[in-house]
């Protein structure tokens, strides 16, 4: 009797198992066990991968950042306040992607590539994961082409090549953003796409930048990726990666791109906030141990590709803010060691009216020199030396001691060099003009000009050459060199122009 009952039960079970069909689509499902400050922990998700996008109850999205044996940790991207414990979480099977392509240029988007400029849908045809491996050594080529910024001090002393990573570092309000924006503005008509990533800035500041780009006709080739201070830490954290993916698409399609990350200190702070909420152990300055990896995997993606790989390039200008000029803090030293050089802007120089406030001693470009034009190399070769000599001698001169003629001469030349390197924002020089200006100041042809008139004089002289001596400008442009003959002609023209210029001053 009992045997038949068991048989019946076993048959029923076998039948039920045969009939069983679960609506299984290959994705695992779990439940939120903790939610707070934009971070969730969930269990039941056995097969998710690092960086995978999760769907929380069809309302919010999250990115997996922590994988434990029984549970995962993730950061919520949208509507973090409406996520609470016990909600259903599904893995989506793919990592976070952003829309990419030429459609993005001329637009302002958030960290996930959604338009925020009120100009309607973007209509991008392609998507790209925000995290991607950097190009391998095989794919890379030597940096040989200059990326002209139009800022004389930068182009002469810390030249940037296409594919280089050059850090812009300095205290707050020292003109860091202005240098980067000027570099973007100067790419007009030069076939370089630009991506400006604003991280943790005030929305009003970003809107000012978008306005400047728009007014100066630079927005059409620029994409602004914006995660303002009001956005959550996760959105600020992914913003540079999204910007990088947008730039990467252009690089791999053979174009030149310039990407600005403004700034990585705020990015590090956002990452620190997330990591602490995820209960990761904190290290120096409370940053998590992988903060170096965070920035290196971002910046390593900038490259100059070889001709067999499309020949595109991605030049990265990360910005880092220092506190009281301390470049030996954790994040600044990390980023300095990742990049190929730095432009160090100093607040004392800025306040003394030397703008851009470039500290020549601490600024370097490790690879840009090989991308500099021959003419520029010739005229700027001794510039650093002159400036350092001037700085040394002028500190002596402060004591009011008697100076010999050659020292006085050197100080006078130094003063004029410093004046020539001063440049207001959004007033880029043409590359030929840069060469001519440096030539005349290094050849000591401005001794007659009073120091406060030097800047005005060289600008007026360049306009004079453009109108009256087109041949000189054309020749330097064509040959990309400044020879002895043309040098003599320029010297003649300076003398000629000086007479005319000083007459004007007297008449005034
Ligand atoms: P923050 O730390 O707030 O991001 P920042 O270092 O990015 O500041 P900017 O916003 O670029 O600095 O510039 C600070 C101020 O200095 C601005 O008002 C700007 O107009 C002015 N400024 C920047 N560069 C120059 C320049 N070359 N000539 C004159 N003024 C300048
Ligand atoms: Mg700034």
Whether 396 shows a pLDDT value over 80: the answer reads no
Work out the angle at residue 239's Cα, subtended by the Cα atoms of residues 294 and 32, and round it to the nearest 5 degrees: 80
Q: In terms of Cα–Cα distance, which of 306, 318, 370 is closest to 136?
A: 306
Q: What ligand is nearest to the CA atom of residue 179?
A: 1
Q: How far is the CA of 176 from the centre of ligand 1 (A)?
A: 6
CB 197 within 8 A of CB 259: yes
Residue nearest atom 8 in ligand 1 by C-alpha distance: 173
Tokens of 84: 């609470």
Q: How far is the CA of 173 from the centre of ligand 2 (A)?
A: 7
Could you list which residues have their CB under 5 Å from ion ligand 2?
Answer: 177
b/e map 65-76, b = 16+ CB within 10 Å: bbeeeebbbbbb
Q: How does strand 222-227 pair with strand 192-199?
A: parallel
Q: How far is the CA of 448 from the centre of ligand 2 (A)?
A: 38
pLDDT band with cut points at 50, 70 and 90 for residue 164: very high
Q: How far is the CA of 175 from the centre of ligand 2 (A)?
A: 7
Q: Among 153, 178, 182, which is best to mutate for testing ligand 1, by the most ligand atoms less than 8 A from CB?
A: 178
Report the pLDDT averaged over residues 432-449: 93
Question: Of 27, 280, 297, 366, which one is the catalytic site residue?
Answer: 366
Report the pLDDT averaged over residues 413-426: 95
pLDDT band with cut points at 50, 70 and 90 for residue 23: low
Cα 172 from Cα 187, distance rounded (Å): 26
pLDDT band with cut points at 50, 70 and 90 for residue 25: low
Range of weakest confidence among 31-45, 149-163, 249-263, 329-343? 31-45
Q: Among 177, 183, 185, 203, which is best to mutate for testing ligand 1, by the most ligand atoms less than 8 A from CB?
A: 177
Whether 61 shows a pLDDT value over 70: the answer reads yes
DSSP readout, 22-50? ----S--EEEEEEEETTEEEEES--S--T
- Beta-bridged to residue 223, according to DSSP, are 195
Span 485-497, pLDDT tens digits? 999 999 999 999 9
> Does the beta carbon of 175 sit less than 6 angstroms from any atom of ligand 1?
yes
Determine the pLDDT at residue 81.
87
Report the pLDDT averaged over residues 17-45: 82
> Does the beta carbon of 111 sit less than 6 angstroms from any atom of ligand 1?
no
Q: Is 366 a catalytic residue?
A: yes
Determine the pLDDT at residue 26.
56
Whether 454 shows a pLDDT value over 80: the answer reads yes
Whether 448 shows a pLDDT value over 60: the answer reads yes
> Does the beta carbon of 272 sit less than 6 angstroms from any atom of ligand 1?
no
Tokens of 244: 């990088």
Q: Is 425 helix (H, G, I), strand (E, B) or coil?
A: coil
Dihedral, 385, 389, 391, 397 alpha carbons, nearest 10: -160
pLDDT band with cut points at 50, 70 and 90 for residue 63: very high
Q: In terms of Cα–Cα distance, which of 162, 418, 151, 473 is closest to 312?
A: 162
Cα 125 from Cα 11, distance rounded (Å): 55
Range of weakest confidence among 289-293, 422-426, 465-469? 465-469
Range of weakest confidence among 210-219, 379-388, 399-408? 399-408
Polymer length of the chain: 508
Report the pLDDT averaged over residues 391-417: 85
Q: Among 153, 169, 175, 203, which is best to mutate for testing ligand 1, by the most ligand atoms less than 8 A from CB?
A: 175
Determine the pLDDT at residue 399.
74
Bond from prior residue into 356 cis (ω within 30 degrees of 0)? yes
Q: How many helices (H) and strands (E) does the chain have?
A: 16, 16
Whether 440 shows a pLDDT value over 90: the answer reads yes
Residue 263 CA, closest ligand 1 atom number: 4
CB 258 within 8 A of CB 213: no
Report the pLDDT averaged over residues 100-111: 96
Q: Give the residue with greater pLDDT, 455 vs 396.
A: 455
Determine the pLDDT at residue 502.
84
Range of weakest confidence among 23-27, 463-467, 468-472, 473-477? 23-27
CB 287 within 8 A of CB 280: no
Report the pLDDT averaged over residues 477-488: 89
> Does the beta carbon of 61 sit less than 6 angstroms from any atom of ligand 1?
no
Residue nearest atom 24 in ligand 1 by C-alpha distance: 175
Q: How far is the CA of 205 from the centre of ligand 2 (A)?
A: 8
> Does the beta carbon of 125 sit less than 6 angstroms from any atom of ligand 1?
no
CB 261 within 8 A of CB 317: yes
> Does the beta carbon of 426 sit less than 6 angstroms from any atom of ligand 1?
no
CA–chain centroid gap for 129, Å, is 20
Q: How far is the CA of 172 from the centre of ligand 2 (A)?
A: 7
> Does the beta carbon of 178 sit less than 6 angstroms from any atom of ligand 1?
yes
Give the CB-side neighbour count of residue 12, counting CA atoms within 13 A. Answer: 6
Whether 371 shows a pLDDT value over 70: the answer reads yes
Q: How does strand 97-100 pair with strand 313-321?
A: unpaired
For residue 309, the 8-state DSSP code is: G
Whether 340 shows a pLDDT value over 70: the answer reads yes
Range of weakest confidence among 25-34, 112-121, 128-137, 279-288? 25-34
Span 36-60, pLDDT tens digits? 888 999 998 888 998 899 999 988 9
pLDDT band with cut points at 50, 70 and 90 for residue 403: confident
Phi and psi dihedrals of 82, rounded to 5? -95, 15
Determine the pLDDT at residue 22.
61
Q: Give the residue with greater pLDDT, 481 vs 304.
A: 304
Q: Is 464 helix (H, G, I), strand (E, B) or coil?
A: helix
> Does the beta carbon of 322 sit less than 6 angstroms from any atom of ligand 1?
no
Work out the angle at residue 433's Cα, subtended by the Cα atoms of residues 218 and 390, and round it to the nearest 5 degrees: 110
Report the pLDDT averaged over residues 13-41: 82
Q: At what angle do helices 291-299 and 233-252 cross, to 10 degrees?
A: 30
Determine the pLDDT at residue 24.
53
Residue appearing with tokens 């590709």: 305
- Averaged pLDDT of the chain: 93
> Does the beta carbon of 176 sit less than 6 angstroms from any atom of ligand 1?
yes
Determine the pLDDT at residue 508.
67
Give the CB-side neighbour count of residue 416, counting CA atoms within 13 A. Answer: 25
């Amino acid at each position: 009797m009992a045997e038949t009952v068991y048989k019946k039960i076993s048959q029923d079970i076998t039948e039920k198992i045969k009939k069983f069909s679960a609506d299984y689509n290959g994705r695992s499902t779990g439940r939120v066990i903790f939610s707070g400050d934009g971070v969730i922990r969930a269990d039941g998700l056995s097969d998710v991968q690092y960086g995978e996008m999760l769907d929380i109850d069809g309302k919010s999205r999250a990115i997996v950042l922590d994988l434990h044996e029984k549970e995962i940790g993730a950061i919520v991207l949208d509507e973090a306040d409406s996520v609470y414990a016990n909600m259903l979480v599904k893995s989506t099977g793919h990592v976070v992607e952003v829309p990419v392509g030429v459609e993005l240029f001329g637009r302002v988007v958030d960290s996930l590539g959604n338009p925020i400029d009120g100009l309607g849908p973007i209509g991008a045809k392609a998507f790209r994961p925000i995290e991607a491996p950097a190009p391998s050594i095989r794919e890379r080529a030597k940096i040989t082409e200059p990326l002209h910024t139009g800022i004389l001090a930068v182009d002469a002393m810390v030249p940037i090549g296409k594919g280089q990573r050059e850090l812009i570092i300095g205290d707050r309000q020292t003109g860091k953003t202005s240098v980067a924006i000027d570099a973007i503005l100067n790419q007009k008509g030069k076939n370089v796409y630009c991506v400006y990533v604003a991280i943790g800035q005030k929305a009003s500041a970003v809107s000012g930048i978008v306005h400047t780009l728009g007014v100066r006709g630079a927005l059409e080739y620029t994409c602004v990726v914006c995660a303002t201070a009001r956005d959550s830490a996760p959105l600020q954290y992914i913003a540079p990666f999204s910007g990088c993916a947008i730039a990467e698409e252009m690089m791999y399609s053979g174009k030149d791109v310039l990407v600005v990350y403004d700034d990585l200190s705020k990015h590090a702070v956002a990452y620190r906030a997330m990591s602490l909420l995820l209960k990761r152990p904190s290290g120096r300055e409370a940053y998590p141990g992988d903060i170096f990896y965070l920035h290196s995997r971002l910046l390593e993606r900038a490259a100059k590709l070889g001709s067999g790989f499309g020949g595109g390039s991605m030049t990265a200008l990360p910005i880092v803010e220092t506190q009281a000029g301390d470049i030996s803090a954790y994040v600044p030293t990390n980023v300095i060691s990742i990049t190929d050089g730095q432009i160090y802007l100093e607040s004392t120089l800025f306040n003394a009216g030397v703008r851009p406030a470039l500290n020549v001693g601490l600024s370097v470009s490790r690879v840009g020199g090989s991308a500099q034009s021959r003419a520029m190399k010739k005229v700027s070769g001794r510039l650093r030396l002159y400036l350092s000599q001037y700085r040394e001698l002028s500190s002596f001169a402060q004591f009011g001691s008697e100076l010999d003629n050659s020292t006085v001469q050197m100080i006078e030349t130094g003063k004029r060099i410093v004046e020539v390197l001063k440049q207001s924002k959004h007033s880029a020089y043409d590359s030929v003009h840069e060469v001519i200006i440096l030539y005349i100041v290094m050849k000591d042809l401005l001794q007659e000009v009073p120091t406060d008139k030097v800047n005005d004089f060289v600008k007026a002289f360049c306009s004079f050459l453009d109108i009256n001596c087109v041949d000189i400008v054309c020749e330097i442009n064509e040959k990309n060199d400044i020879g002895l003959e043309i040098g003599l002609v320029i010297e003649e023209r300076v003398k000629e122009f000086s007479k005319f210029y000083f007459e004007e001053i007297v008449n005034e």
